[in-house]
Structure 1
C-alpha cells in the first residue's frame, strides 16, 4: 500500500487561497480501472483510491504514514513566483 503526500494546490477557478495550507495523504491505485460493459463508466474494486486524509502540516502526514506502515512519497510544493506587471505594460 503506497501513498503520496502533497500540499493542496490553489483552485484555478477562484482567486481565493482557502484550504491551500492543508496537506493531503492520498493512496495510489493498486489495480487498473476498467470500463463497465453495461454503463460504460470506469471503476475498480480498489476502495483505498477513494480515500483522502487531510492534515494541517507535512510532519503530521508523514508521522501518520510511518505509524501505520504506509510507504508514502512527499511531493514538494513548487515555489510561488509573482509577475508584477502594471496594466500600462500591455500597451508598450
Structure 2
C-alpha cells in the first residue's frame, strides 16, 4: 500500500487560499479502473482511492504513515511565483 503526501495548491479561479496549508495523505491506485459493462462508468474495487486524510503538518502525515506501515513519498510544494504588475502594464 503506497501513498503520497502533498499540499493542495491554490485554486487558480479564486483568490482565496483556504485549505492550502493542510497536508494531504492520498492513497495511490492499486488496480486499474475498468468500464462497467452496463452503464459504461469507470470504476474499480479499490476503495483506498477514496480515502484522503488531512494533517496540520508534513511531519504529522509522515508519522501517521510510518505508524501504520504505509509507504509514503512526499511531493514538495512548488514555490509560489507572483507576477506583480500594475494595471497600466496591460496597455503597453
TM class by shorter chain equals over 0.9
TM-score, structure 1 as length reference: 0.97
Q: Which residue of 1 is the match for residue 20 of structure 2?
A: 20
Q: What RMSD, in angstroms, separates the aligned Cα atoms of the two structures? A: 0.7
Deviations 1:27-79 (A, max 9, x none): 00000000001001000000001100000000000000000010001000000
Q: How does 1:1-92 map to 2 (within 5 A)?
A: 1-92=1-92
Instruction: Show structure 1 runs of 5+ residues with no match.
Output: none
Structure 1 residue ranges, 4+ long, deviating more than 4 angstroms after superposition:
none
TM-score, structure 2 as length reference: 0.97
